[in-house]
Amino acid sequence: MNSYGTAATGRLLVSVVIPAYNEEKNVPAVYEAIRSSLAGPEAREIIFIDDGSTDATAERVRGLRARDASVRLIRFGRNFGQQSALLAGLEAAQGDAVITLDCDLQHPPELIPRMIQAWRNGAQVVQMIRTETEGVGFFKRLTSRVFYRFVNILSETPVVSGAADYQLLDRVVVEAVLRFRDRYPFLRGLVGWLGFPPTRIEYVAPQRHRGTSGYTLRKMLRLSLQAVMGLSSKPLRFSFYFGLLTAIFCVLYAAFALVALAAGKNVQGWTSVIVMVTFLGAVQLVSIGIVGEYIARVYEQSRGVPRYVIVEGDEPRAARGLQQVEN
């Protein structure tokens, strides 16, 4: 475990990392809920990552920081995405254990004591599994199921259905995750790839506290591609196998045409030719598109483009000379 909490305060330090995008209405409520849940013997720090918000999210966090030295603010210059915000929070966190959760109270902070207890009992990864979400419609449930099914079919690292970015990571796991330098990270997948055995706790997610979710269908699709291509090369192999099956089908069809021609039978040409050309063109374009996505990732990685840019960030608690955080 990280020795910072023990050396500086005589207590283990728990960091809570909260990505926030246009969450000005939820920041105070999330803070109060976390503060109430972290009333145990552990020291704490609460890190809000403002992911390029256009509302008063940063101002709300600054107000909390003015009266609670355990609150820290990291602000991006623009919206880089939730996964990049999570990685920024992990890099900034000083805790012996780091908890990540959303800023909408759908990840219930009242479960934090159970997570910490599991960690104290030896768990290095405490993974929260959502069994149900109150108040969501059929379309949202469907897209969620499709997301996990899609990722698990194409990924070499399985992701448990209902496992969102609500989890506790021991310092050892955090350091292992930070060794990855992916331009487009997928935290759940990275943690699963590492192979640390998780302790799982199920929960029912309540309705969003206030405001509307920033996770549109477009962002969900982008996250799906990010998850699959960041964890697996299966799509490349699938495109090869699909092309191979198509080639076999074309050879069989050509053999059929030749046999029919030799038997003196008329072979209908226009319709079959158009269908075959269209089918082969679609297979080629899909395969080229898959290869292109991987090449684009390699290109972005080779450029050394940062995953995010911080325009405002608090110093770590140690640098500010904070020896203890009072509840």
CATH number of the CATH domain containing 206: 3.90.550.10
**Tens-digit pLDDT profile for residues 303-321:** 777 888 899 886 554 433 3
Together in a domain, 176 and 126 = yes
Q: Which residue range(s) make up the domain with 132?
A: 4-214+306-313
Residue 322 scores a pLDDT above 50: no
User: What pLDDT does residue 319 have?
Assistant: 39
pLDDT attached to residue 137: 64
In a domain, residue 23? The reply is yes
Does any domain span residue 224? no
| Domain total of the chain | 2
Average pLDDT, the chain: 79
Are both 191 and 285 inside the same structural domain? Answer: no
Does residue 223 belong to any structural domain of this protein? no
In a domain, 327, yes or no: no
Q: Enter the pTM of the model.
A: 0.73
Burial class (CB in 10 A: 0-12, 13-18, 19+), 236: middle
Q: Are residues 210 and 239 in the same domain?
A: no
Q: Token digits for 6?
A: 């023990």
The pLDDT of residue 214 = 60
Q: Are residues 279 and 200 in the same domain?
A: no
Residue 194 has pLDDT above 50, yes or no: yes
Q: Distance of CA 54 to CAs 24, 216, 314, 327, Å?
A: 10, 17, 20, 31
Same domain flag for 197 and 271: no
What is the predicted pLDDT for the residue at 140? 66
Kindly state the average pLDDT of the residues 149-168.
76
Confidence band of 216 (pLDDT split at 50, 70, 90): low
**pLDDT interval class at 220 (50, 70, 90):** low
| 32 and 157 housed in the same domain | yes
> pLDDT for 228-273, tens place per residue?
666 666 777 777 777 777 777 777 777 777 777 677 766 566 566 7
- Label residue 209 exposed, middle or buried (CB < 10 Å: 0-12, 13-18, 19+): middle
pLDDT single digits (tens) 279-295? 777 777 777 877 777 78
195 and 273 both lie in a single domain:
no
Name the band, by pLDDT with cuts 50, 70 and 90, for residue 297. Answer: confident
Percent of the chain scoring above 70 in pLDDT: 74
Q: Note whether 191 and 267 are same-domain residues.
A: no
pLDDT at 19: 95
Q: What is the pLDDT of residue 9?
A: 45
* 3-class DSSP assignment, residue 207: coil
Indicate whether 29 pLDDT > 90: yes
Confidence grade of residue 325 (pLDDT, cut at 50, 70, 90): very low
- Residue 17 falls within a domain, yes or no? yes
* Residue-level length of the chain: 327
Same-domain status, 244 and 105: no
Secondary structure element (H or E) that encloses residue 237, with its range: helix 234-262
Write out pLDDT tens, residues 41-100: 778 899 999 999 999 999 999 999 999 999 999 999 899 988 899 999 999 999 999 999
**The residue type at 132:** E
**Residue 59 covered by a domain:** yes
Same-domain check for residues 267 and 158: no
On the question of pLDDT at 157 being above 80, the answer is no
DSSP secondary structure code for residue 111 in this structure: G
Q: What is the 3-state secondary structure (H, E, C) of 147-196?
A: HHHHHHHHCCCCCCCCEEEEEEEEHHHHHHHCCCCCCCCCHHHHHHHHCC
pLDDT at residue 165 greater than cutoff 80: yes
**Residues 156 and 187 both lie in one domain:** yes
Q: Return phi, psi of residue 98, to 5°.
A: -125, 125
More confident residue, 131 or 136: 131
- Do 187 and 41 belong together in one domain? yes
Domain assignment present for 322:
no
CA distance 308 to 141: 31
